[in-house]
């Protein structure tokens, strides 16, 4: 079949045309945002806006990063970075420890614990926003990094992933460690963690994107603009009334908001794909 396609007949070219149309459909909105971030407000509000980049890239991005609309975008990016790293690293750390306990120990309540974390699978924060908000408010964690991070690491997907992986680790390794008189934490640190490196990295990629792209939760708990994350902050840059939005700066912010996660996907493509497949298993 492939041979027929590779003969470069009409089918071959139609295949490429179809794919290029698909790529164009996927790229066009981002291209337009990029163009808008390089032109002046005057060029945008007099439609149709240009379809090729202008010369104001540096000044628009500088204005966004340094001044922004409510708060400098650099500040929002910093907040997003703390949140994304906190969620990714925090979730990996607590999941690694609990998966180790579930797989390598027999302790009372293990089954109950296992089923309790099983219940948390797939239940997004969107479903329990009001009571979770009240908990965070009760702890005085509104407008704080811990308030942004903690509710989003309360799920067990990563625990399951590590459990699955630990089950595939040969028993001989733990046996050997025990015979050598190495304690469980030594086994964990010197053998299990190094072996899990690829899984951890793949999971990190997925969790980083997940954390960076959060919207509803930061919208609820960061009432102080200085704690806004960039993804939720874009919408806050639009004026509430009939005033004209500062489009070049808003579009520059949109581009900045997608840069870190997109870079992660492109430069760690193999880890990303692995993480995606793993976390859906």
Q: Which residues contact 244 (CB under 8 A, 6 or more apart)?
A: 41, 45
For other proteins (CB under 8 A), the number of binding residues is: 109
Tell which positions 158-187 bind other proteins, by CB under 8 A. 159, 167, 171, 174-175, 178, 183-185, 187
Tally the C-alpha atoms within 13 A of residue 191's C-alpha that lie toward its C-beta: 19
Tokens standing for 155?
Answer: 């799920």
Compute φ and ψ for 8, nearest 5 degrees.
Answer: 60, 40
Distance of CA 103 to the CA centre of its chain: 28
Which of 177, 163, 149 has its CA nearest to residue 113?
163
Binding mask 109-128 toward other proteins (x if CB under 8 A, else -) reads xxx-xxxxx--xxxxx-xxx
- 9 lies in the binding site for other proteins (CB under 8 A): no
- 270 lies in the binding site for other proteins (CB under 8 A): no
The residue within the footprint of other proteins, chosen from 47, 140, 181, 194 (CB under 8 A), is 47
The residue within the footprint of other proteins, chosen from 69, 161, 232, 249 (CB under 8 A), is 232
Instruction: Classify the C-alpha dihedral 110-111-116-119 as positive or negative.
Output: positive
Using a 10 angstrom Cβ sphere, with 0-12 exposed, 13-18 middle and 19 or more buried, the burial of residue 4 is exposed
Among the residue ranges 55-63, 70-78, 129-137, 193-201, the one whose residues contact other proteins (CB under 8 A):
129-137
- 234 lies in the binding site for other proteins (CB under 8 A): yes
- 241 lies in the binding site for other proteins (CB under 8 A): no
If one counts every other C-beta atom within 10 angstroms of the C-beta of residue 82, the result is 16
- 54 lies in the binding site for other proteins (CB under 8 A): no
The residue within the footprint of other proteins, chosen from 154, 191, 195, 201 (CB under 8 A), is 154
The residue within the footprint of other proteins, chosen from 189, 224, 235, 270 (CB under 8 A), is 235
CA-to-CA dists, residue 185 to 7, 174, 272, angstroms: 60, 11, 29
Length of the chain in terms of residues written? 281
How many angstroms separate the CA atoms of 195 and 115, rounded? 26
- 156 lies in the binding site for other proteins (CB under 8 A): yes
**Beta carbon nearer to other proteins, 145 or 215:** 215
- 130 lies in the binding site for other proteins (CB under 8 A): yes
For 193-226, give one letter per residue: b (16+ CB within 10 A) or e.
Answer: eeebeebbbbbbbbbbbbbbebeebbbbbbeebe
- 212 lies in the binding site for other proteins (CB under 8 A): yes
- 279 lies in the binding site for other proteins (CB under 8 A): no
Tell which positions 60-79 bind other proteins, by CB under 8 A. none
**Beta carbon nearer to other proteins, 66 or 116:** 116
- 81 lies in the binding site for other proteins (CB under 8 A): no
- 131 lies in the binding site for other proteins (CB under 8 A): yes
Q: Which residues contact 32 (CB under 8 A, 6 or more apart)?
A: 49, 51
CA-to-CA dists, residue 131 to 25, 151, 249, 277, angstroms: 40, 11, 36, 32
CB of 197 to other proteins, least distance (A): 20
- 257 lies in the binding site for other proteins (CB under 8 A): yes
Among the residue ranges 5-13, 58-66, 68-76, 194-202, the one whose residues contact other proteins (CB under 8 A):
5-13
- 209 lies in the binding site for other proteins (CB under 8 A): yes
């Amino acid at each position: 079949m492939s041979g027929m396609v590779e003969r470069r007949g009409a089918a071959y070219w139609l295949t490429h045309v179809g794919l290029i149309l698909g790529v164009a459909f996927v790229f066009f909105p981002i291209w337009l945002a990029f163009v808008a971030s390089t032109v002046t407000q005057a060029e945008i509000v007099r439609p149709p806006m240009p379809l090729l980049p202008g010369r104001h890239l540096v000044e628009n991005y500088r204005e966004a990063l340094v001044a922004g609309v409510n708060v400098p975008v650099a500040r929002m990016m910093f907040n997003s970075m703390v949140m994304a790293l906190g969620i990714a690293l925090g979730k990996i750390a607590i999941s690694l420890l609990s998966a180790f306990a579930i797989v390598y120990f027999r302790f009372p309540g293990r089954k109950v614990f296992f089923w309790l974390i099983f219940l948390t699978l797939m239940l997004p924060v969107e479903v329990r926003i009001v009571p979770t908000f009240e908990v965070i408010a009760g702890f005085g964690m509104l407008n704080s990094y811990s308030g942004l991070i903690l509710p989003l690491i309360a799920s067990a997907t990563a625990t399951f992933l590590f459990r699955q992986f630990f089950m595939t680790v040969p028993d001989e390794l733990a046996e050997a460690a025990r015979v050598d008189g190495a304690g469980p934490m030594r086994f964990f640190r010197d053998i299990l963690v190094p072996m899990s490196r690829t899984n951890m990295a793949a999971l990190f990629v997925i969790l980083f994107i997940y954390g960076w792209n959060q919207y509803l939760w930061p919208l609820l708990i960061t009432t102080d603009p200085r704690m806004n994350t960039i993804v939720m902050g874009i919408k806050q840059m639009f004026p509430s009334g009939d005033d004209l939005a500062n489009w070049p700066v808003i579009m520059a912010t949109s581009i900045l908001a997608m840069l870190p996660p997109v870079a992660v996907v492109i430069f760690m493509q193999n880890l990303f794909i692995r993480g995606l497949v793993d976390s859906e298993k």
